[in-house]
Chains A and B, each alone.
Chain A
Amino acid sequence: MNILDNDRYLADIRKALDTVYDPELDQSISELDFVKGISINQGRVCVTLGLPTYWCSPNFAFIMMEDIDQALSSLPWVKQVRVILDDHESSTRLNAGIAEHKTFPEIFSESPGDLEKLRRTFAEKAFYARQKYIVDLLTRDGLNVADWIPGNWKELKRHLTTSREGQQLWDRYYLLAQKLGIASGDHDPAITGTSGKAVTGEMWERHFHQLRLITLNMESNAHICRGLLRVRYQPEGRSPLVSLPLVDQS
């Protein structure tokens, strides 16, 4: 292993971390600057997370930590993954639990509820938010969305893939539709509820109102979270600390 390998490994890790999302904000943990440090040593990777507050919901922290563990474990050269959450009320329990691959109820037996249901709820909200951004872009491009809906996936792709921004929105929306099991073949309706039911003209006004509210809620929360993270971990503009072994021992 040499320094160039490390660069490549680091790029792999960054790419994997880009796919891990804060479920509540629907932004990647890299974008949100939650990654405080990455270390690599002979195929062993350790990622340290810092969240906006000491009190951030442990269930969301768990989801992100579990997703990091999975995303990194799938890299072929990775032998072992450690995920460390710093400065959090449940750090000790979460760090140990994730290392032992425990489920959320195994770590927090006192916490009622169903984590998978929570994941689904937030994936549904994210689907609507992504739909809202698509509708906004189509409207800016001069399409009368109220007349066009529900459209189909083929038309949607044609509308969106002409620009980079559109392509990104399409990728994100399509990915989540697949994850939620919403039919997304060429002729399936493109603007739907999370059950896959087409949104029709008479439903549109109320539906759009709800999209707006969901997006506003998400963006407002993100604004608070980003600001709290910034003041919590001053100085500003820090980037993830990368600690690599100085001497290659392999």
Chain B
Amino acid sequence: MVKTADGEEIFVVDGHVALWDGSVANQKNRHGAEFIDCFYDYHRNLSPKEWLWPHDKFIHYDEQTFIHDVFEEGSVDVAIFQPVGLTDFYKEPFGNVAKNYALAQKYPGRLIGNGYFDPRDGEEGLERLEQWAKDYHLQGVKLYTAEWHGSSKGYRLADPWTQRYLAKCLQLGIRNIHVHKGPTIKPLNMDAFDVSDVDDAASAFPELNFIVEHVGLPRLEQFCWIATQDPNIYAGLAVADAFIYTRPRYFAQIISELLYWLNEDRIVFGSDYALWHPKWLIDMFLNFELPEDIAQETGVQLTKDIKKKILGLNAARLYQIDVPARISELQHDVIGQRVHQAG
């Protein structure tokens, strides 16, 4: 829970966290080194100085660090893992579904571990998805449409095999499809960030929720247009919210466009930890006010109630969290007690 200036406590869901292993020991090839180094450049580029990590800590941090940063220092109540395997670059998966699940078991109610799939894995992948859904109680998946796979350098949500996987998700009760449409990975397709395929999938599967991570930032305008067409498309704020420090005016413009084109119920906060620490992001977001001219131009407001939705209530709805019940549960868990003792 975080406290607003007027003393109200707000429930926070961090919709995008990771416990990755980008260590040298786990790197398969140069791509593995370049991938985590690119993440590190994002971290260095947009973090306030006092939140910068050394490179060796950044490439592989431990569970204690994660728990401390996200829940104790960061005041997050519930966090959602959005793993990506990247097994062409790393020996063990970069984001590890089994490890995430094990950590979630240690801290009941605190962590939601999403899975992932790759439609190019065909029948075998469908079976694995089914197994994972059963073993890890998946409620969501993270998809990297630009991920390499042998000679293929990406896929689209409209592909027939992807449609089969989405139908499988629906059947297995996996309702939240997080689609990475954002910078930092290795696009080789002509326009890997093109978001129009989300439109096709969202229309074909109205019962599923499509959370477009990083608000499709290289194609923000395209994202806003398609999001107006489909009520089951959501904006995942990770990366865009990090602008709040280096370019608060851009952040104000982005958030006001999202409020204008989507609405306050379809925007979900995410820190992208460990790219950025949730503590400074949440604090700055809570204290953030839209500049008068931008509010006037778009005709939207960023009130405390809207902030509460973005910071927690919207994600809680997607993941069927009973907020008052969860709050009282978490007050008494081991993290809640530590936070309470620290005062």
Residues of A bordering B, CB below 8 Å? 24, 52-55, 57-59, 89-90, 108, 110-115, 118, 121, 209-210, 212-214, 216-217, 219-221, 223-224, 227-228, 230-232
Indicate if the CB atoms of B220 and A213 lie closer than 8 Å: yes
Q: Looking across the interface, which residue of chain A has its beta carbon closest to that of B239?
A: A224
Q: Which of B34, B38, B185, B189 contacts A111 (CB 8 A)?
A: B189
**Most chain B Cβ neighbours within 10 Å, of A24, A110, A216, A232:** A216
- A24–chain B nearest beta-carbon distance, Å: 7
Asked if B34 and A55 make an inter-chain contact with CB atoms under 8 angstroms apart, the answer reads: yes
Supply 29 A–B pairs (Cβ within 8 Å), ascending by A: A52-B41, A55-B185, A55-B187, A89-B31, A90-B188, A108-B188, A110-B151, A110-B153, A113-B190, A118-B190, A210-B221, A212-B253, A212-B257, A213-B224, A216-B254, A216-B257, A217-B218, A217-B219, A217-B221, A220-B217, A220-B240, A220-B243, A220-B250, A220-B254, A221-B183, A224-B217, A227-B45, A227-B246, A228-B41
> Shortest Cβ distance from B307 into chain A, in angstroms?
21
Known: A89-B34, A216-B254. A57 touches B187 (CB 8 A): yes
CB neighbours (8 Å) of B185 from chain A are 55
Find out whether the CB atom of B246 lies under 8 angstroms from the CB atom of A112.
no
B60 at interface (Cβ–Cβ under 8 A)? no
- Is the Cβ of A219 less than 8 Å from the Cβ of B190? no
B68: Cβ under 8 A from any A Cβ: no
Q: Of A112, A121, A231, which contacts B44 at CB under 8 A? A: A231
* Separation of A243 and B152 alpha carbons in the complex (Å): 40
Given contacts A216-B220, A219-B250, A232-B41, 10 further A-B contacts (CB under 8 A): A53-B184, A55-B34, A55-B187, A89-B31, A115-B190, A213-B221, A220-B247, A223-B246, A224-B45, A231-B44
The reply to whether B217 and A217 form a contact with Cβ atoms under 8 Å apart is yes
* Minimum distance in angstroms from A27 CB to a CB of chain B: 15
CB distance from B36 to the nearest CB of A (A): 11
Please determine whether A24 and B218 come into contact, CB atoms closer than 8 angstroms: yes
The 6 closest A-B pairs by CB, nearest first: A113-B190, A227-B45, A217-B220, A213-B221, A54-B34, A55-B186
The interface residues of chain B lying within 8 Å CB-to-CB of A209 are 260
Q: Quick check: is B46 within 8 A (CB to CB) of the other chain?
A: yes
Q: For B153, list chain A residues within 8 Å (CB).
A: 110-111
**Contact of B45 with A216 in the complex, beta carbons under 8 Å:** no
Chain B interface size, as a band, is 35 or more
**Interchain CB contact (< 8 A) of B191 among A89, A108, A113:** A113
Contact partner of B184 (CB less than 8 A), chosen from A55, A213, A221, is: A55
Tell yes or no: B192 within 8 A of A by CB: yes
Instruction: Find chain A residues with CB under 8 A from B34 CB.
Output: 54-55, 89
| Cβ–Cβ < 8 Å partners of B246 in chain A | 223, 227
- Report the minimum CB–CB distance from A221 to chain B (whole Å): 6
Contacts of B188 in A (CB 8 A): 57-58, 90, 108, 110-111
**What residues of B have a CB within 8 angstroms of the CB of A89 in the complex?**
31, 34, 186
Q: Are B44 and A223 in contact (CB under 8 A)?
A: no
Q: Are B190 and A220 touching (Cβ within 8 A)?
A: no
Q: Kindly identify which residue among A52, A53, A111 contacts B190, using a CB–CB cutoff of 8 Å.
A: A111
A121 to B151, CA, bound (A): 27
Q: Mark B22-62, 1 if CB is under 8 A from A, else 0.
A: 00000000010011011001101110000000000000000
Q: Are A114 and B217 in contact (CB under 8 A)?
A: no
Residues on the B chain within 8 Å of A53, using CB: 38, 41, 184
B residues 161-189 near A (Cβ < 8 Å) are 183-189
Q: Chain A residues near B190: list those with CB within 8 A.
A: 59, 111-115, 118
- A231 lies within 8 A of B189 (CB): no
CA separation between A139 and B164, bound complex, in Å? Answer: 51
Most chain B beta carbons < 10 A, residue from A54, A90, A223: A54
**A223–B247 CB distance below 8 A:** yes
In the bound assembly, the distance between CA atoms of A114 and B189 in angstroms comes to 10
Q: Which residue on chain B has the smallest CB distance to residue A121? A: B191
